[in-house]
Amino acid sequence: MGGAQNPFLIAQQQIRNAVVALGESEELYELLKAPAHFVEVQIPVRMDDGGVRVFTGYRSQHLTTLGPAKGGIRFHPAVTADEVKALSMWMTFKTSVVGLPYGGGKGGVVVDPRKLSQGELERLARGYVREIWPFIGPDRDIPAPDVNTNAQIMGWMLDEYEKIVGRSCPGVITGKPIALGGSLGRNEATGRGVVITIREAMEYLGLRLEGARVAIQGFGNAGQFTGLLLEELGAVVVAASDSRGGILCPGGVRVADLIAHKQATGSVVGFPGSRATDQYGVLTADCEILVPAALENQIDAEVARGIRARVVAEAANGPTTPDGDHVLAQRGIFVIPDILANAGGVTVSYFEWVQNLNQFYWTEEEVNARLEQKMVESFRQVVATAERHGAYTRTAAYMYSIQRIAEGLRVRGLLQAPARQLRVAAGQ
């Protein structure tokens, strides 16, 4: 387990697998194998002690031919250029799986936000926007929250952007506070989408969700809402972890209590009545549903061999290595791939952007109903693709997604029609 594998190379491999499985051309791979635009910036920040520290930030726009780039910004000490590139590539396939008019984008700043005061965090968020503002915009590239960023940070970023451009522009960023044009339901959306796909997967496999045991690796926004909403449907959370360690509670936890414990102490560790474990212990816990909701490269071949869950729902981006994938596929574990499982967040970001552009706001029921519709439809399409081609679910999700992207590239004249279509046209 660990971050040894380069996510950019993994993303390229996944694209290649799908292009080959679809019988598409090398040209398509060439068009998708790297981001269209990538910027690195240095962000000077005045620290509370009066000194200045310079942080490195990135923004990657993978594809801009299907609409503006779209994707979050993460604040993490392990952020790298290749990681941000890979994450932007995964966003392209994610937005296409759920049929959104976007390409993929992603940003990151190399920082441990836990070591910053609120004031320093705000100045960093604003500083990042001062460096990247010429590259973003509601019709160009629309950032959002990701690991260690939240609505408040989006609020500061929007405020800085609007001050620079001198006009109201809520559609430039999503996942904002409601008071600044955020969407109802956006905060819960990633978890809600994960849970919809788990519910569909359990039904598809003929398994009961009620009473099913769940392990959640990573207890941030996505992990917490996934736990809460699964509990509402009768499942029981028996294991959880965060960056400080993991816990096992075979009898089940009340998710609200675990969230309160994490808010009070900074971690799930030490939750009353639990047994301490590590990340491996949570990933291989005795359960029916495993939700990796942390970072990349957590499920390698060794972890995959130890997983006891029947369903793995990837709330995180890129949690499984190619070797891990191989083992999961061989073992017949049902994987709901990240680009499908966690697409609820960007889907409601899209709804937020639509509301901003129209200046007309929806009820939470309306947001959730539309999210439900999109997630269920996409889940069914991916499963149908897997069945039709006898493909592993991850490859099927890429195949379904890439088909739509290829169509967009073709009608723009960037990609030739496939040989069989040329033949049909010639015979007419």
State which residue has the least CB distance to ligand GLU: 72
The reply on whether position 342 binds ligand GLU by CB under 6 A is yes
The reply on whether position 154 binds ligand GLU by CB under 6 A is no
Number of Cβ within a 10 Å radius of residue 383: 20
DSSP notation for 194-207: HHHHHHHHHHHHT-
Amino acid at 152: Q
The reply on whether position 185 binds ligand GLU by CB under 6 A is no
The reply on whether position 374 binds ligand GLU by CB under 6 A is no
Structure tokens belonging to residue 241: 């972890």
Least distance in angstroms from the C-beta of 349 to ligand GLU:
3
Amino acid at 170: P
DSSP notation for 286-315: S-SEEEE-S-SS-B-HHHHHH---SEEE--
CA distance 371 to 364: 10
Structure tokens belonging to residue 37: 């635009």
Considering all CA atoms of the chain, what is the largest pairwise distance in Å, rounded to the nearest integer? 75
Q: Which stretch binds ligand GLU (CB under 6 A): 125-133, 224-232, 342-350, 376-384?
A: 342-350
Least distance in angstroms from the C-beta of 305 to ligand GLU:
28
The reply on whether position 319 binds ligand GLU by CB under 6 A is no
Structure tokens belonging to residue 244: 């400080």
CA distance 57 to 109: 4
Least distance in angstroms from the C-beta of 342 to ligand GLU:
6
Of 12, 60, 92, 174, the one binding ligand GLU (CB under 6 A) is: 174
CA distance 73 to 145: 6
Show the CA angle centred on residue 378, arms to residues 373 and 406, nearest 5°: 130
Q: Among residues 111 and 144, whose Cβ is nearest to ligand GLU?
A: 144
For residue 330, the SS3 value is helix
Q: Which stretch binds ligand GLU (CB under 6 A): 108-116, 343-351, 355-363, 387-395?
A: 343-351
Least distance in angstroms from the C-beta of 92 to ligand GLU:
11
The reply on whether position 345 binds ligand GLU by CB under 6 A is yes
Q: Among residues 24 and 146, whose Cβ is nearest to ligand GLU?
A: 146
The reply on whether position 393 binds ligand GLU by CB under 6 A is no
> Which are the catalytic amino acids?
106
Q: Among residues 82 and 323, whose Cβ is nearest to ligand GLU?
A: 82
The reply on whether position 146 binds ligand GLU by CB under 6 A is yes
Q: Among residues 349 and 378, whose Cβ is nearest to ligand GLU?
A: 349
**Where do the H-state alpha helices sit in 212-343?**
221-232, 255-265, 279-283, 301-306, 322-330, 338-341
Least distance in angstroms from the C-beta of 12 to ligand GLU:
19
The reply on whether position 317 binds ligand GLU by CB under 6 A is yes
CA distance 1 to 297: 7
Q: Among residues 127 and 191, whose Cβ is nearest to ligand GLU?
A: 191
The reply on whether position 70 binds ligand GLU by CB under 6 A is yes
CA distance 104 to 89: 6
The reply on whether position 274 binds ligand GLU by CB under 6 A is no
DSSP notation for 144-199: EE-TT--HHHHHHHHHHHHHHHTS--GGG-SS--GGGTPPTTTTTHHHHHHHHHHH
Beta bridge partners of residue 289, listed in sequence order: 214, 311
Least distance in angstroms from the C-beta of 22 to ligand GLU:
24
Q: Among residues 171 and 345, whose Cβ is nearest to ligand GLU?
A: 345
The reply on whether position 109 binds ligand GLU by CB under 6 A is no
Q: Please, how many CA atoms are within 13 Å of residue 184, restricted to the half-sphere of its CB?
A: 11
Residues near ligand GLU, by CB under 6 A = 70-72, 94, 144, 146, 174-175, 317, 342, 345-346, 349
